């Protein structure tokens, strides 16, 4: 099961697979994989809010330099104002076809 999932992530360009010693492999994130970080952070924050563990958050994401916890993921306007879910709408873009 794990091998099939890893293969799929490699095929999608999310992970890259490199041989380590001829017997085993190392998997690392590609740029495409790194770009998933906001999605994964948002899902984790959502889970902590709506499916909390009695002992507290399962993971705490921290800034590497300061060690301080990061702010929860949020959407911002082009001028930097935080936006709530009801302040955002989707409109058809040029790639949307009938």
How many alpha carbons fall within 13 Å on the CB side of residue 52? Answer: 5
**One domain for residues 53 and 78:** yes
In a domain, 97, yes or no: no
pTM, to two decimals: 0.73
In a domain, 50, yes or no: yes
Tens-place pLDDT, residues 9-53: 999 999 999 999 888 999 999 999 999 999 999 999 999 999 999
**Please, which residues have CB within 8 angstroms of residue 74's CB and are 6 or more apart in sequence?**
82, 83
Residue 34 φ then ψ, to 5°: -65, -35
**One domain for residues 29 and 41:** no
Residue with tokens 């409109």: 91
**One domain for residues 50 and 82:** yes
Taking the CA atoms of the chain, what radius of gyration do you get in angstroms? 18
Domain containing 44: what range?
37-86
């Amino acid at each position: 099961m794990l091998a099939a999932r890893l293969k799929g992530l490699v095929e999608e360009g999310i992970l890259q697979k490199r041989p380590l010693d001829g017997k085993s492999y190392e998997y690392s994130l590609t740029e495409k994989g790194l770009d998933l970080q906001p999605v994964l952070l948002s899902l984790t924050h959502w889970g902590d809010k709506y499916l909390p563990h009695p002992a507290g958050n399962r993971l705490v994401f921290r800034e590497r330099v300061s060690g301080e916890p990061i702010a929860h993921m949020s959407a911002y306007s082009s001028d930097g104002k935080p936006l709530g879910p009801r302040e955002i709408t989707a409109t058809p873009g040029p790639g949307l076809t009938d």
